[in-house]
């Protein structure tokens, strides 16, 4: 049996983050003010129309859609860590499950808002439900993203129930209202064998169910592009190409979150060096797979150079988008793979830096997928102003693009302040297992 003192230590360590510190308040104030500025930009866009963006009749999707794709991609991490690794018995990843779910939920929920920023008539959003047509990939996307958000909420909540109970009992000087809320949400958890069994079964079922849904959200998102006839999008491997890319962005996101939780919430013992090492290796693995898909996606058309493909490929390889294209491939994929092979690079700080490159590269990669294709239609772009031919994002558009990132940070910060970012219940359980 595990000694009580050890259990208490785990509990108090993991609960320590749940209190209002000054640095938390300052950070929240900073995020809120930034968010308000960005929302101001959105209100301006609402009034003036999408003319305040750099979009035009040819490049009619830009940063907003790139960001949407990126957010859906990143949200897949929940499925990768908790479901895929969890179900395949990769015990080392267990402490990351909750962080992964928090990230997944935040990114998936905000992705839905990003799409609204791109709409010309957000006031008619309900038309999608009133007049929705089943053959449109947008309708599929809205359906699966909604389901994914719901399941992710459950996937976060269900395993959290025992911890909520602990929160209601063990947190010192808790506001009575908060304590009530924890108690209410813990659904009379008493830790009986029966309850444990139900919890295990339920978590397992959700873990299984979330896999196809997660695959669906990103595959369908890829079909928004692949189901058109456009050069650069008209590809049969877009589904798996997007999914593998999603794992890369998601893994880099979890590294960033791990680093800051570890440092700010003093979780060095739980988010151990060994864990960073393992996640670093995971990042190498998913990046290699993604690199493989990149090679297929670009080299095959580049070998053949069909008439219209050639326009697109040359713009990427040597033309207007070459700098971004090669930077993304090199700094966001190839270099991280090479560096992460070395042990030293999988320590927290170097890993954080590498993951940040991968994460930012991931956003630009989505941009590279969305924008250049739209600059290369089959028929020439003529008799229109220059800004219709070349897409240059505006300041307003950039601020509106920033808003979802801030919102995600807000959600993650708040969640990490009201629930333990590592499951207390499971940590104790695994310690007990080790002890026996």
Partner 1 sequence: MIEKEEQPKKKSRREFLQQLGIVGVGTALGGSAILAGINYDKNKTDAQRIRVLTAENELLEIEKGDATKIIPSKHGNLTYLQQQGRDGIAGKRFVMVIDLSKCQNARKCMAACQHAHDLRPEQHHMNVLKMEETETTPPFYMPKPCQHCDNPPCVAVCPVDATFKRADGIVLIDNERCIGCRFCIAACPYSARIFNWAEPLNAQGDKDKVYNVELNVPQKKGTISKCLFSADQVREGKLPYCASACPNGVYYFGDENEDAVTNGTTKETFRFKKLLEDNGGYTLMPELGTKPRVYYLPPKGKTVPFQDKDREEAAEHLHHT
Report if residue 63 touches partner 1, rule: CB under 8 A. no
178, 137 Cβ separation under 8 angstroms: no
Report the residue from 261, 276, 388, 391 that binds partner 1 according to the rule CB under 8 A: 388
Residues in contact with partner 1, counted by CB under 8 A, come to a total of: 54
Q: Give the residue carrying structure tokens 């990046």.
A: 287
Rounded-to-integer distance, Cα 262 and Cα 54, Å = 40
Output the CA angle 266-155-75, nearest 5 degrees: 75
Nearest to 140 by CA among 70, 78, 218: 218
Q: Which is nearer to partner 1, 12 or 228 (CB)?
A: 228
Report if residue 334 touches partner 1, rule: CB under 8 A. no
Report if residue 306 touches partner 1, rule: CB under 8 A. no
CA 131: distance to chain centroid? 30
Rounded-to-integer distance, Cα 252 and Cα 244, Å = 13
Report if residue 60 touches partner 1, rule: CB under 8 A. yes
Site for partner 1 in 368-387 (CB under 8 A): 374, 377-385
Report if residue 43 touches partner 1, rule: CB under 8 A. no
Report if residue 55 touches partner 1, rule: CB under 8 A. yes
Secondary structure class of 134 (helix, strand, coil): coil
Report the residue from 216, 311, 352, 371 that binds partner 1 according to the rule CB under 8 A: 311
How far apart are CB 226 and partner 1 at their closest, in Å?
Answer: 11
Q: Which stretch binds partner 1 (CB under 8 A): 5-13, 114-122, 245-253, 331-339?
A: 114-122
Rounded-to-integer distance, Cα 266 and Cα 360, Å = 26
Site for partner 1 in 163-192 (CB under 8 A): none
359, 260 Cβ separation under 8 angstroms: no
Rounded-to-integer distance, Cα 359 and Cα 325, Å = 15
Report the residue from 29, 30, 91, 132 that binds partner 1 according to the rule CB under 8 A: 132
Phi first, then psi: what are they for 280, rounded to 5°?
Answer: -60, -45
Report the residue from 133, 175, 193, 434 that binds partner 1 according to the rule CB under 8 A: 133
426, 9 Cβ separation under 8 angstroms: no
Report if residue 68 touches partner 1, rule: CB under 8 A. no
Report if residue 121 touches partner 1, rule: CB under 8 A. yes
189, 157 Cβ separation under 8 angstroms: no
Q: Which stretch binds partner 1 (CB under 8 A): 15-23, 44-52, 264-272, 296-304?
A: 44-52
Q: Which is nearer to partner 1, 352 or 374 (CB)?
A: 374
Residue 424 makes CB contacts below 8 A (sequence gap 6+) with 10, 11, 14, 15, 162, 163, 166
Rounded-to-integer distance, Cα 44 and Cα 267, Å = 42
Site for partner 1 in 222-281 (CB under 8 A): 224-225, 227-230
How far apart are CB 325 and partner 1 at their closest, in Å?
Answer: 14
Which tokens belong to 282? 């995971």
Report if residue 119 touches partner 1, rule: CB under 8 A. yes
Report if residue 147 touches partner 1, rule: CB under 8 A. no
Q: Could you write out the three-class secondary structure of 179-197?
A: HHHHHHHCCCCCCCHHHHH
In the complex, which residues of this chain contact partner 1 (CB under 8 A)? 48-51, 53, 55-58, 60-61, 118-122, 124-125, 127-128, 130-133, 135-139, 142, 224-225, 227-230, 310-311, 314-315, 318-320, 374, 377-385, 388
């Amino acid at each position: 049996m595990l000694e009580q003192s050890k259990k208490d230590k785990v509990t108090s360590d993991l609960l320590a983050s749940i209190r209002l510190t000054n640095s938390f308040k300052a950070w929240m104030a900073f995020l809120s003010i930034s968010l308000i500025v960005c929302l101001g930009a959105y209100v301006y866009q609402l009034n003036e129309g999408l003319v305040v963006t750099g979009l035009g009749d040819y490049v009619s999707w830009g940063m907003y859609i790139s960001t949407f794709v990126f957010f859906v991609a990143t949200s897949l991490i929940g499925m990768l860590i908790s479901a895929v690794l969890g179900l395949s018995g990769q015990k080392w990843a267990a402490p990351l499950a909750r962080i992964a779910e928090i990230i997944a939920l935040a990114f998936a929920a905000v992705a839905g808002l990003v799409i609204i920023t791109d709409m010309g008539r957000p006031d008619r959003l309900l038309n999608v439900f009133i007049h929705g047509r089943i053959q449109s990939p947008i309708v599929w996307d809205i359906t699966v993203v909604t389901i994914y958000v719901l399941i992710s909420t459950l996937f976060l909540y269900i395993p959290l129930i025992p911890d909520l109970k602990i929160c209601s009992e063990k947190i010192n000087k808790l506001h009575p209202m908060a304590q009530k809320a924890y108690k209410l949400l813990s659904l009379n958890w008493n830790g009986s064998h029966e309850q444990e069994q139900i919890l295990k079964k339920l978590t397992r079922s959700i873990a299984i169910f979330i896999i196809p849904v997660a695959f669906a959200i990103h595959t369908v998102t890829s079909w928004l592009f692949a189901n058109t006839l456009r050069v650069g999008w008209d590809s049969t491997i877009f589904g798996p190409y997007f999914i593998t890319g999603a794992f890369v962005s998601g893994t880099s996101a979890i590294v960033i979150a791990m680093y800051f939780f570890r440092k700010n919430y003093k979780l060095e013992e739980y988010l151990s060096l060994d864990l960073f090492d393992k996640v670093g290796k995971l990042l190498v693995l998913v990046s290699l797979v993604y690199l493989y898909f990149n090679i297929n996606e670009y080299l095959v058309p580049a070998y053949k150079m069909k008439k219209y493909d050639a326009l697109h490929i040359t713009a990427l390889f040597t033309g207007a988008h070459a700098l971004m294209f090669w930077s993304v491939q090199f700094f966001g994929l190839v270099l991280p793979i090479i560096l992460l092979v070395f042990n030293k690079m999988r320590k927290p700080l170097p890993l954080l830096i590498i993951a940040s490159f991968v994460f930012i590269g991931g956003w630009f990669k989505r941009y590279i997928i969305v924008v250049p294709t739209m600059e290369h239609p089959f028929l020439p772009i003529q008799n229109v102003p220059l800004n219709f031919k070349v897409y240059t994002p505006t300041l307003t558009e950039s601020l509106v693009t920033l808003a979802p990132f801030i919102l995600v940070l807000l959600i993650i910060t708040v969640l990490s302040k009201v629930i333990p970012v590592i499951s207390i219940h499971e940590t104790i359980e695994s310690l007990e297992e080790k002890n026996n």
